[in-house]
C-alpha cells in the first residue's frame, strides 16, 4: 500500500480550499493561478505539480465531491427515503462551503449539470413505473422530474443558509419523494 506524504495532502487541501474560497468572492474566470497560490500559501509550481491548470483543479474538486457523494449515498442504500435523505443532507451540511459555492457560482454551471446527472442516475434505480402511483408514466420524465426537483431544493436550502437542520429538511424532502417515487 502506497503511503501518501502528509505534506502533499496538506498542500492539495490548501489549494482546493483556496479555490473554493476565491470562487465565493469572484468569478472563476477572474481567478488566476497566482491568486490560488497566494491564498493557499504555496508557490505556483506546487499547484502545477498537482494540476494542469485551474480548470483541472476545479474538475478534480468536483469529481472528488461527486465520488464522495456517491459513496455516501451507496452507504445509505438500505435506508428508507427519509433516512437516506438525512444521510445526504448531513453530507451537504458538512461540505456546505463547497456545495453552496458550486451551486451559487456562475463559474460552476458544469458542477450543477454534473450534480444533476449524478442524481438522475441515483433516482433511476428508485423509480418504478410498473405499478402504484407511477403506473403507466414515462420513466425518463419521472426520473427527470424527481432529480431536477431534488437538485433544486438542495440548491435552495444551501443558498438560503440551510434554514432547516438536515433532519427537518430530510423529513420534508423525504415525504415529498415518497409521494412521487
Summarised one tens digit per residue, pLDDT across range 110-133 is: 888 899 999 999 888 888 777 778
Q: Are residues 81 and 117 in the same domain?
A: yes
Q: Are residues 72 and 136 in the same domain?
A: yes
pLDDT at 2: 62
Q: Are residues 116 and 137 in the same domain?
A: yes
With pLDDT > 90 as the criterion, what percentage of the chain qualifies?
Answer: 49
pLDDT at 103: 84
Q: Are residues 43 and 99 in the same domain?
A: no
pLDDT, tens digit, 9 for 90 and up, residues 131-150:
778 788 888 999 999 999 99
Q: Are residues 117 and 164 in the same domain?
A: yes
Mean pLDDT over the full length of the chain: 88
For residues 11-34, average pLDDT = 93
Q: Are residues 59 and 28 in the same domain?
A: no
Q: Are residues 80 and 26 in the same domain?
A: no
Residue 16's CATH number: 1.10.10.60
With pLDDT > 70 as the criterion, what percentage of the chain qualifies?
Answer: 96
Name the pTM for this structure. 0.81
Which of 70, 60, 149, 159 is CA-nearest to residue 111? 60
pLDDT at 33: 96
pLDDT, tens digit, 9 for 90 and up, residues 55-71:
999 999 999 999 988 88
Q: Are residues 23 and 90 in the same domain?
A: no
Is residue 99's pLDDT more than 80?
yes
Q: How many domains does the chain have?
A: 2
Task: Judge residue 179's burial from the number of C-beta atoms within 10 Å of its C-beta, 0-12 exposed, 13-18 middle, 19 or more buried.
Answer: exposed
Phi-psi label, residue 3: left if phi above 0, alpha if psi -120 to 50, beta otherwise: beta
Q: Are residues 69 and 154 in the same domain?
A: yes
Owning domain of residue 43: 1-51
pLDDT, tens digit, 9 for 90 and up, residues 153-170:
999 999 899 999 999 999
pLDDT at 127: 80
Output the nine-digit C-alpha cell for 149.
426537483
Q: Are residues 73 and 139 in the same domain?
A: yes
Question: Of residues 176 and 3, which shows the higher confidence score?
Answer: 176
Q: Are residues 43 and 69 in the same domain?
A: no
**Strand residue runs (E) in 82-176:** none
Amino acid at each position: 500500500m502506497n503511503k501518501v506524504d502528509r505534506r502533499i495532502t496538506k498542500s492539495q487541501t490548501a489549494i482546493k480550499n483556496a479555490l473554493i474560497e476565491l470562487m465565493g468572492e469572484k468569478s472563476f474566470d477572474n481567478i488566476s493561478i497566482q491568486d490560488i497560490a497566494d491564498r493557499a500559501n504555496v508557490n505556483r509550481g506546487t499547484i502545477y505539480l498537482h494540476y494542469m491548470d485551474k480548470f483541472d483543479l476545479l474538475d478534480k474538486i468536483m469529481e472528488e465531491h461527486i465520488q464522495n457523494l456517491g459513496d455516501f449515498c451507496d452507504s445509505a442504500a438500505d435506508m428508507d427515503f427519509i433516512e437516506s435523505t438525512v444521510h445526504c443532507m448531513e453530507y451537504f451540511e458538512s461540505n456546505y462551503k463547497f456545495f453552496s459555492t458550486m451551486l451559487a457560482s456562475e463559474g460552476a454551471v458544469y458542477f450543477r449539470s454534473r450534480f444533476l446527472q449524478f442524481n438522475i442516475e441515483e433516482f433511476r434505480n428508485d423509480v418504478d413505473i410498473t405499478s402504484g402511483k407511477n403506473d403507466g408514466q414515462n420513466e425518463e420524465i419521472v426520473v427527470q422530474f424527481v432529480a431536477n426537483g431534488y437538485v433544486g431544493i438542495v440548491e435552495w436550502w444551501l443558498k438560503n443558509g440551510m434554514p432547516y437542520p438536515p433532519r427537518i429538511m430530510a423529513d420534508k424532502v423525504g415525504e415529498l419523494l415518497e409521494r412521487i417515487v
